[in-house]
Amino acid sequence: MSARRPLPRWADVALLPVLNLVLALIVFSIFVLLIGQNPLQALAIMINGAFGYGEGVGFTLHFATSFVFTGLCVAVAAHAGLFNIGGEGQAYVASLGAIAVGFLMDHTVWWLVLPVAILASMAVGAAWAFIPGYLQAKRGSHVVITTIMFNFIASSLMAYLLVYVLKPVGVQEPSTANVVAAGKIPQLRQFFPWFGGAPLNMTIIFAILALIGVYILIWRTKFGYALRTLGHSPSASLYAGISNSRMIIIVMMISGALAGMVAVNEVLGVQSRIVIDVTAGYGFVGIAVALMGRNHPIGIALAAVLFGALYQGGLDLQFYMPAITRDMIVVIQALVIMFTGAMEGLLRPGLESAFMLYSPRQKADAVARETVGTES
Amino acid sequence: MSQPHSSSNAEQRPSKGGAVSDLAIELRGINKSFGPVRANRDIDLKVRRGTIHGIVGENGAGKSTLMSILYGFYTADSGEILVNGQPAHITDSRHALQLGIGMVHQHFMLVDNFSILENVILGAEDNALLASSLSKARKELKRLSDEYGLSVDPDAIVQDVSVGQQQRVEILKALYRGADTLILDEPTGVLTPEEADDLFRVLNVLRDQGKTVILITHKLREIMAITDFVSVMRQGQMVATMPTKDTSPEKLAELMVGRRVLLRVEKGSAHPGKPLLEVKNLVVADDLKVVRVKDVSFSVRAGEIVGIAGVAGNGQSELLESIAGMRDQLSGDVVLNGHVLSLEGDDGAHRARLAGLAHVPEDRQTEGLVVQFEEWENNILGYQHDPAYGRGLLDIAAARRQAEERMHKFDVRPANPRLKTANFSGGNQQKIVLAREMEQDPSVLIVGQPTRGVDIGAIEFIHNQIIKMRDAGKAILLVSVELDEIRSLSDRILVMFDGKIVGEADPATATEGELGLMMAGIGADGHAARSGAGAGPAHAVGGDQP
């Protein structure tokens, strides 16, 4: 009989993720030692690469922008009790919306293109997420299964479109034509040369707006209230007269719309066209970002910066420490995702016990609560 | 109902072997603390062999902790346990069984698709080959059945037999493992009055055969009817132990709560007006598409409480959910204030509320409340569309203010709307739901299991609130598996069996026996079904009598 007490909030949102991160770095250090390199030096290179100079910071924030969108995508669905794994596919397909606006409005000005492209990618992402949402709401097909499948469908569909439909004549690579004028979202380095060659662009403004917007949506609106009711207890939302099926469809569409914004950041912000796998796995990392950020916008912002730093620091590490190959970088990213995402509860029981030892009063409360609960 | 067994009967029985103590169980100075919370304080308890010993107390009084110590779930911080006069250190339930202590849990621990025989030997098989164990067990089961009057069909599959039979299997399981002392935790909660009487007969036989029974219950009537001795616990302490014949329900209730409690609901006569809620030929299926409500019709008038009696699982839940718009009806109509409600779709509950129906659901934990929410968030559950809570954006300040007012009005403690709902006690959670639904000033209130898992003190309050609603001219439909509650609150009783209304009774004149027969599906006048199913005020009888 072990009574458990939930961790204090600060430990839950800050201490535990930090410990998980440290654990991931320790395991990574072992790998680095095994290939005969100095892990501390590797770590120093990574941190410096992510935050030590303007271009590094620019890259970190650029990656973080995409992670904010996919993290919010997962978080909004999670608050409604839905596990949307389809952010990757939703973002990928949404790139069609972004590029369409880029082409159609290439002759106008960027500050018109940016909001319209955002709306268009949101719409396409939402439409792609609508299908699994509808199937869950009306047919009971589990959204986890369908969104995974829709990632494959998205990937194949985009490959087909890029190879057979969208590729300009005479180009070898499967990609669309380039936007050349207003369709290119301005880079922040044009205003702040400090960012060097980093692809950080205006889309980051929408990432910040999305963080604020999601906070208001979830905790300050009646819609968010209904959404959270559904997420905690579908039977209570039925009791409250909330249409669960309608909510599921709408929430999936909002979730898909958030993922869709990644497309603007990558397609119009970096590539100026759609290339194969333009979304580069951001959708999947978004799951870890949301988990680590506890589905809260502030947590997601921090987690997104962390993962951005990992991506960018990894690139620098690869460059300055040739013994550490591209594969090793993937290993560290995978370790962080594993420890902060999939195994985020690993240290929780130990930490809870530690807190109870530290504070017997809290232990008493916990035990009392549990015994009252079992009293019949 | 069985008569109270005189305690002298037990005293006359010769104790086996002379030297052996006549106490089956003795607890001396048991203490169990969870930090500063003292769940059990200096508990002394003597349970004589061959008696039925009742233990009563409110939720959280420490009964379960005490029994858990006896059954080996917890270890006491200090104190002694003596079994048959011998000190015992009970470390787990297996050990308890070796000492002859068996437990029948409130929720049965049976494998539904196994036969009764298989369930009895589960975990007590002799060896790897099942056949030899089964044939031996069959003989033993036969012997036990005959000896204690616990007849069961060993080859019946558990899910096919009645709840009463399943409980017998639980008792047989304990006896098969050699239990001399049986602990029964709230055993009658799921039984019809008939089945409860059967159980009491069995317990009497067990006692007469020298077994010891410890009965944990909150139903004082059962304590009075069946036990030889009764112990009362309050706030972790054993406040009294006495022969049952020397006490009364009122006295026990007072000991449990620590103040005088009104057990009888005091209400004036009803003055019914026009029908506000009419249910016409309603047919409803459950989630597995099994039809659970079969062509039910009735009406509830303004200013009356109509109670639906019945054993749990006879379609009452589906009926309530359907009227409240949570469950689609296959056919039939729900008419509120003369308007047919359109309830199809999964937001039917919203339309029912708009039409003036309030609903206190049977299960407050999963339906009536979101326990993870702060209290004020639950205060608007179901009424979140109300412009009083803002338009689009939630007016959190207004919602909190209103929540706090209602908490004071309904005496919810602690009156802090920012507290997580899961941290309130069952009674306070129920008051939160009641406050929300009653303060809407609905014309029809439907209430399911209003006092399930609620302390005696809060029960009194809740009952009074329901009566107050009635006297304010609301139509109230009450569903409860507590027959006492139905009888004391209702102005009219409808009995539901197998999805049909099989009878109607006047609470002032109907006896528990008559109701019990109807609840078991046998019509009072021999006509099984539909004898009271006709709708409309013309059929209503006895509504005006107190």
pLDDT tens digits along B134-150: 888 888 889 988 888 88
Name the band, by pLDDT with cuts 50, 70 and 90, for residue A329.
confident
Question: Is residue B89 a part of any domain in this protein?
Answer: yes
What pLDDT was estimated at residue B523? Answer: 56
What pLDDT was estimated at residue B262? Answer: 65
Q: Is B35 left (phi over 0), alpha (psi -120 to 50) or beta?
A: left
Residues B121 and B174 in one domain: yes
What pLDDT was estimated at residue B526? Answer: 47
Contact A225 B384 (CB under 8 A): yes
Q: What is the pLDDT of residues A2-16, one digit of tens each?
A: 445 667 777 777 788
End of a domain among B203, B227, B256?
B256
**Structure tokens of B465?**
């609130």
What pLDDT was estimated at residue A364? Answer: 56
What integer is the mean pLDDT of A241-262? 96
The residue among B381, B395, B436 with the most chain A CBs within 10 A of its CB, best to mutate, is: B381
Q: B526 or B172: which carries more pLDDT confidence?
A: B172
What pLDDT was estimated at residue A47? Answer: 93
Q: B125 or B95: which carries more pLDDT confidence?
A: B95
What pLDDT was estimated at residue B297? Answer: 96
What pLDDT was estimated at residue A138? Answer: 93
Q: Tell whether the model's pLDDT for residue A128 goes beyond 90.
A: yes
> If you average pLDDT over each of A125-129, B307-311, B539-543, which comes out highest?
A125-129
For residue B148, give the H/E element and its range.
Answer: helix B130-148
Contact B352 A241 (CB under 8 A): yes
Name the band, by pLDDT with cuts 50, 70 and 90, for residue A366.
low
Residues of A with CB under 8 A from a CB of B: 1, 3, 216, 220-226, 228-229, 232-233, 235-236, 238-246, 360-361, 363-365, 367-369, 371-372, 374-376
Residues B391 and B509 in one domain: no
Q: Does B49 touch chain A (CB under 8 A)?
A: no
The total number of residues written for chain B in this structure: 546
Question: Is residue B241 a part of any domain in this protein?
Answer: yes
Residues B424 and B458 in one domain: no
Residue B319 CA to residue B327 CA, distance in Å, equals 9
What integer is the mean pLDDT of A343-364? 72
Question: Is residue B317 a part of any domain in this protein?
Answer: yes
Residues of B in contact with A374 (CB under 8 A): 64
What pLDDT was estimated at residue A361? Answer: 58
What pLDDT was estimated at residue B542? Answer: 35
Q: Using the structure block, give the residue that is written with the tokens 């097909």.
A: A141
Residues of A in contact with B235 (CB under 8 A): none
Q: Where are the domains of chain A?
A: 56-194+202-308
The residue among A238, A246, A355 with the most chain B CBs within 10 A of its CB, best to mutate, is: A238
What pLDDT was estimated at residue B514? Answer: 86
pLDDT, chain B, mean: 84
Question: Is residue B227 a part of any domain in this protein?
Answer: yes
Residue B478 CA to residue B7 CA, distance in Å, equals 39
Which of B85, B81, B91 is closest to B31 using CA atoms?
Answer: B81
What pLDDT was estimated at residue B18? Answer: 43
Do A187 and A197 meet the contact criterion of CB atoms below 8 Å apart?
A: no
Contact B381 A3 (CB under 8 A): no
Q: Tell whether the model's pLDDT for residue B1 goes beyond 70.
A: no
What integer is the mean pLDDT of B172-191? 86
Q: Minimal Cα distance from A357: which residue of B?
A: B35
What pLDDT was estimated at residue A257? Answer: 97
Contact B346 A221 (CB under 8 A): no
Residues B294 and B172 in one domain: no
What integer is the mean pLDDT of B346-355? 93
Contact B381 A246 (CB under 8 A): no
Which of A119, A116, A258, A91 is closest to A182 using CA atoms?
Answer: A116
Least confident of A296-305, A349-358, B35-44, B81-90: A349-358
Name the band, by pLDDT with cuts 50, 70 and 90, for residue B6.
very low
Which of A236, A219, A281, A248 is closest to A84 using CA atoms?
Answer: A248
Number of domains in chain B: 3
Residues B286 and B398 in one domain: no
Residues of B in contact with A249 (CB under 8 A): none
Distance separating the N- and C-terminal Cα atoms of chain A? 18
Residue B64 CA to residue B48 CA, distance in Å, equals 20
Q: Tell whether the model's pLDDT for residue B253 goes beyond 50.
A: yes
Do B453 and B426 meet the contact criterion of CB atoms below 8 Å apart?
A: yes
Range of the domain at B59: 23-256
Name the band, by pLDDT with cuts 50, 70 and 90, for residue A359.
low
Q: Where are the beta strands (DSSP E) in B61-180?
A: 78-83, 86-88, 101-104
Residue B364 CA to residue B496 CA, distance in Å, equals 22
Residues B432 and B446 in one domain: no
Question: Is residue B361 a part of any domain in this protein?
Answer: no
pLDDT, chain A, mean: 89
Q: Tell whether the model's pLDDT for residue B13 goes beyond 70.
A: no
The total number of residues written for chain A in this structure: 376
What pLDDT was estimated at residue B14? Answer: 42
Name the band, by pLDDT with cuts 50, 70 and 90, for residue B204.
very high
Name the band, by pLDDT with cuts 50, 70 and 90, for residue B482.
confident
Contact B35 A236 (CB under 8 A): no
Q: What is the pLDDT of residues A24-73, one digit of tens each?
A: 999 999 999 998 999 999 999 999 999 999 999 999 999 999 999 999 99
Residues B247 and B166 in one domain: yes
Q: A61 or B14: which carries more pLDDT confidence?
A: A61
- In degrees rounded to 5, what are phi and psi of residue B311? -75, 145
Q: Tell whether the model's pLDDT for residue B529 goes beyond 70.
A: no
Question: Is residue B14 a part of any domain in this protein?
Answer: no
Question: Is residue B10 a part of any domain in this protein?
Answer: no
3-state SS record for chain A: CCCCCCCCHHHHHHHHHHHHHHHHHHHHHHHHHHCCCCHHHHHHHHHHHHHCCHHHHHHHHHHHHHHHHHHHHHHHHHHCCCCCCCHHHHHHHHHHHHHHHHHHCCCCCHHHHHHHHHHHHHHHHHHHHHHHHHHHHHHCCCHHHHHHHHHHHHHHHHHHHHHHHHCCCCCCCCECCCCCCCCCCCEHHHCCHHHCCCCCECHHHHHHHHHHHHHHHHHHEHHHHHHHHHHHCHHHHHHCCCCHHHHHHHHHHHHHHHHHHHHHHHHHHHHCCCECCCCCCHHHHHHHHHHHCCCCHHHHHHHHHHHHHHHHHHHHHHHHCCCCCHHHHHHHHHHHHHHHHHCCCCCHHHHHHHHHHHCHHHHHHHHHHHHHHHCC
Residues B103 and B139 in one domain: yes
The residue among B64, B104, B346 with the most chain A CBs within 10 A of its CB, best to mutate, is: B346
Residue among B73, B382, B393 minimizing CB distance to A239: B382
Q: Does B370 touch chain A (CB under 8 A)?
A: yes
Do B352 and B341 meet the contact criterion of CB atoms below 8 Å apart?
A: yes
Q: Does B389 touch chain A (CB under 8 A)?
A: yes
Residues B452 and B431 in one domain: no
Q: Minimal Cα distance from B56: which residue of A?
A: A376
Question: Is residue B451 a part of any domain in this protein?
Answer: yes
**Fold of the CATH domain A56-194+202-308:** ABC transporter involved in vitamin B12 uptake, BtuC (1.10.3470)
Q: What is the pLDDT of residues A72-109, one digit of tens each?
A: 999 999 999 999 999 999 999 999 999 999 999 999 99
Q: What is the pLDDT of residues B209-226, one digit of tens each?
A: 899 999 988 778 888 989
> Distance from A366 to chain B by nearest Cα, in Å?
9
**Half-sphere exposure at residue A54, Cβ-oriented, CA atoms within 13 angstroms:** 9
Residues B431 and B446 in one domain: no
What pLDDT was estimated at residue B136? Answer: 84
Q: Does B344 touch chain A (CB under 8 A)?
A: no
Residues of A in contact with B427 (CB under 8 A): none
